[in-house]
Structure 1
């Protein structure tokens, strides 16, 4: 640890949402995980993490998440991992979260929170770890954490951790959250899940009609969760609508903010969500650059 660069004041950083613009499942691996191909893009909308230094060496979460023990929270686990990976004792931290992203929505909220915690503590504690090292640590917390750590829209393979930077169009999105919570484990264990989509190359994914690509989890989620099916049917009136991750959030892509907000204003009563812009550089990394 380099004591000369320790952050003396609290630090607030964004933890943005992500979308899986498509998600193909190629097969099941020997380790029980699924082989995937996907395209990650960030949104300019998400949670916010504040880290405040302590002098007693403790890691304290100022707010608990409903139904999640602090020790199981990815934010706490990320902080614990950073402390254990440091080359000398760290001073401790209090972590605040301003939560906007729905849990179990397929927007990567927990993974994004973990990634922001890793980068925030790297700065707060003056650890000087590289992004590559932080991404390696993040993979121990979840397959989606590295893309948030590295901070660039990416083509993902393997379980989603093999990343190649990508430049999808930075369009506007209407993101809707039907009234249900979906377990990733439940969807990936379903017998009816498509697990044999042919592998594609990166270049064709950006050529021609994007509707050729899909989310292989969608059929199973539609069948198990009528709320998602109804939401997709409504949003599809205005253009292609798709599930992100294993759900429950769905999204439609639009070329302008005004078009997206017009659709958002006409949404069915009682459904939550937001309008956001797709961005290829994470808002987290933009903020860190501004602070340098």
Structure 2
């Protein structure tokens, strides 16, 4: 009886050969296009790409634009409120669920549900809710309060806050899940020891539990900051940058310049500034993570 044929060990070059096409395509369409965008930002491109090198002229024009400064101010205001309120609300919900209440699974699902929606759906839904002729103002007036007004969506001074409301509504559940996971990872013996010493529950959370969640705070801050900088679809669906350009953010400014006004070079310059901002947030985090693992 003949022995079965020996199984040949896999060749060390085979996995590299299989992964090479996807790696090359990813490198080309991600880093290649980033480099192309960077060159367009220092070129004379307008309606079509023009590879004539003009130095930093597009960046000079960018920072002389009043609309760009409005977009930056809006991003700063939206980012601070979106991150601050989202983290505070998410932490509050996580602490409530950490009390081992009934129907915790149902409540956790309800809180997380908005995160399952895209920002386009969220923006459209809140556009209906905040529309003075369809939503909250119309409903309250039908109840008999004829003098009630809630016209933030069409008020150029208040419209940016409607984006904050919609963004916090969608992201608070996700923040809650991150903080709840951190709370469940804390050793119960620490809490019991503090209770034996006579510490009240609020004091335990303020002095022991919340300070121990620093890594969760840091990770949540990075995620929300990344979402805030990329908040294009939410703004487009909710306000489309209006009234006027009062709710423009850098992402919508870039889109308007590159695809609506025929200023490809200016749009590429704003996109490069956005990339540098995200890199300034993400790179230190990755460096600290790799350093910790080493």
Greater strand share, structure number: 1
Normalising by the smaller structure, the TM-score range is under 0.3
Greater helix share, structure number: 2
- Which protein has the larger Cα radius of gyration, Structure 1 or Structure 2? 2
TM-score, normalised with respect to structure 2: 0.23
TM-score, normalised with respect to structure 1: 0.23
